[in-house]
């Protein structure tokens, strides 16, 4: 028997926050759609897993460790059984120190709490399910931003038309994996 539960929390930062991921500093001027922390807890009675996805450019190790600690304290799920991944949006909150953006420690701590709260909600909501897994391909969304340069180095974003570009450094991974949980 497999049980699954789902939880979600809004992690939209305040307007005026840094939005990391651009080459120049970018500040939030408003909200089009909320950013989310979405969590699935899987439980087969022997092992419990937490799969968490957050709408962010990236997630700091310290944020993951804080979320894991809170989840383990509240649910007993071992910290090592908690996976947190970021969607890599360039319009998320200040979770990364990149280019001219700085992460916000208070925001990162709050995101860790929201991940934990979503996981606790998912843990409480567990019910018997059938799992369905699948995979497909979507090759038109991503592109490789790393390039092999004439000097043998690899460079990310070396500039359009840079005469020192030899070739793209590697392929993209077009695979899209899906896990579904169906009740009844």
On the question of pLDDT at 149 being above 90, the answer is yes
Six-digit token string for 117:
């709260």
**Beta pairing, strands 48-54 & 82-86:** parallel
Residue 46 confidence class, pLDDT cut points 50, 70, 90: very high
Range with the poorest average pLDDT among 20-29, 48-57, 85-94: 20-29
**Rounded to an integer, what distance in angstroms lies between the CA atom of residue 92 and that of residue 34?**
9
The more confidently predicted of residues 18 and 164 is 164
Q: Which residues pair with 176 in a beta bridge?
A: 136
Cα(181)–Cα(129) distance, integer angstroms: 6
Share of the chain above pLDDT 70, in %: 100
> Does the structure show a pLDDT above 90 at 27?
no
Instruction: Give the separation between CA 155 and CA 147, rounded to whole angstroms.
Output: 5
pLDDT of residue 144: 86
pLDDT band per the 50, 70, 90 thresholds, residue 126: very high
If one counts every other C-beta atom within 10 angstroms of the C-beta of residue 122, the result is 25
What is the pLDDT averaged over residues 65-86?
A: 98
């Amino acid at each position: 028997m497999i049980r699954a539960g789902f939880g979600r929390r809004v992690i939209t930062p305040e307007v005026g926050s840094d939005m990391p991921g651009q080459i120049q500093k970018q500040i939030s001027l408003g909200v089009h759609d909320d950013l989310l922390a979405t969590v699935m807890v899987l439980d087969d009675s022997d092992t419990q897993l937490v799969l968490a996805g957050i709408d962010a450019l990236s997630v700091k190790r310290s944020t993951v460790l804080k979320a894991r600690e809170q989840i383990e304290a509240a649910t007993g799920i071992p910290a090592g059984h908690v996976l947190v991944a970021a969607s890599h949006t360039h319009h998320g909150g200040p979770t990364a120190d990149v280019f001219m953006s700085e992460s916000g420690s208070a925001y990162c701590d709050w995101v860790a709490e929201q991940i934990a709260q979503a996981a606790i909600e998912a843990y409480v909501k567990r019910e018997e399910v059938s799992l369905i897994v699948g995979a497909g391909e979507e090759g038109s969304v991503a592109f490789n931003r790393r390039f092999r340069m004439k000097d043998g180095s690899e460079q990310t974003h070396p500039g359009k038309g840079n005469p020192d570009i030899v070739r793209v450094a590697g392929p993209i991974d077009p695979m899209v994996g899906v896990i579904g949980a169906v009740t009844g």
